[in-house]
A = this chain, B = another copy of it.
């Protein structure tokens, strides 16, 4: 993948020496390259066939925009650093309506500025992939990694009755996969999709296999690509008569039901016979994994349930996973957001606990082990 070499020195994937005996010595193509999360997400979008990128600089997603600034023109595709986050997301709306495969990225405050347009795109049924590299909030906050925008991504953000698929990678390799999936979901269901990352995932470097996936391109029947020889089309979120708008909403809701039925994703680890089930996503899930290992080493039967789609939330799967447990513990880099969906899933069947850090602080595995212990000793079902 020659293009990978083109961005400047500090944005370049770094080849890693192949392990001996794998034949890597003879090959000019590295098995794996070292990439930052931001860079890998960007390059994955390009490989997926992203036609246009719109953004505005903000830490900690800056390298994503910078990567696109160099790479997209190399590929003959569109890169625009717009006047503001509002301009960027509205350009995305327009480009998507015209049939382009569009990526937008920002970080928490910039994402908030996109709330209105996200609702418009959901209402207009426009596929766009939006990356949120979450940082500490609220307000200007810090540039530390955070998960404080969970509820914004899965519940609120824009106005009106809409939802968007939210994908949460917990490694750079998974982020690469999910970028491709995000475009697939966006186009399959004609909906914006959020890829919810955080400052650690985006800025850390991991060795990844540079086998970024192309996403098949269909020619949808709805795009505004010129009305020569056919009836003009209209894309809008406006329906002045409430009856019409409700009918439109029922279509949206049917799509959401279909997504909920078909697209839930999660991963479980050590769940068999687990007394305490941790629930965590993204960077927090990596810490939770270590905590599970340590707890098991110390005799506490712990397991990890990791939702990959935050919406649709894998509620049934979590309920199943928690069936034999005596306590569920949500671990998040936020004050208590994921835990709401955990409670909605568990519906009182098992006591649900929460451990969170805020403002750019990250839980340590030992902290999480302690929180598991507290949950275990507090929950009546465990103590017995």
Contact = CB atoms under 8 A, between A and B. Distances in A.
A272 interface: no
Contact of A124 (B112, B139, B226, B349): B139
B242 A160 contact: no
Contact of A357 (B78, B226, B246, B347): B246
B142 A160 contact: no
A73, A140, A349 interface centre (most CB from chain B within 10 Å): A140
Interface string A155-167: 1111111100000
A151 interface: yes
A161 to B, nearest CB: 4
Interface in A313-363: 334-337, 340, 343-344, 347-349, 357-361
A246 B155 contact: no
A194 B221 CA distance: 41
A118, A142, A239, A336 interface centre (most CB from chain B within 10 Å): A142
A358 B243 CA distance: 9
Contacts of A140: 120, 123, 236-238
Contact of A340 (B9, B112, B248, B344): B344
B245 A359 contact: yes
A66 to B, nearest CB: 12
Interface stretch (A41-49, A79-87, A289-297): A79-87
A307 B151 CA distance: 21
A138 B113 contact: no
B249 A160 contact: no
Contact of A138 (B119, B144, B228): B119
A248 B122 CA distance: 34
Contacts of A156: 151-157
A335 B249 contact: yes
A116 interface: yes
A203 interface: no
Interface string A112-153: 110110111111100000000010111111111010110111
Nearest to A229: B9
A90 interface: yes
A76 interface: yes
Given A83-B84, A348-B348, 4 more contacts: A138-B158, A141-B238, A142-B239, A348-B349
Interface of A: 8-9, 73, 76, 78, 80-84, 86-87, 90-91, 94, 108-113, 115-116, 118-124, 134, 136-144, 146, 148-149, 151-162, 226, 228, 236-250, 252-253, 334-337, 340, 343-344, 347-349, 357-361
22 contacts: A83-B83, A83-B86, A109-B120, A119-B139, A120-B138, A122-B139, A123-B140, A138-B252, A141-B160, A144-B245, A152-B155, A154-B156, A157-B157, A243-B361, A245-B358, A245-B361, A246-B358, A246-B360, A253-B358, A343-B347, A344-B344, A347-B348
Lowest 6 A-B CB distances belong to which pairs? A156-B156, A137-B160, A139-B237, A123-B139, A245-B359, A138-B160
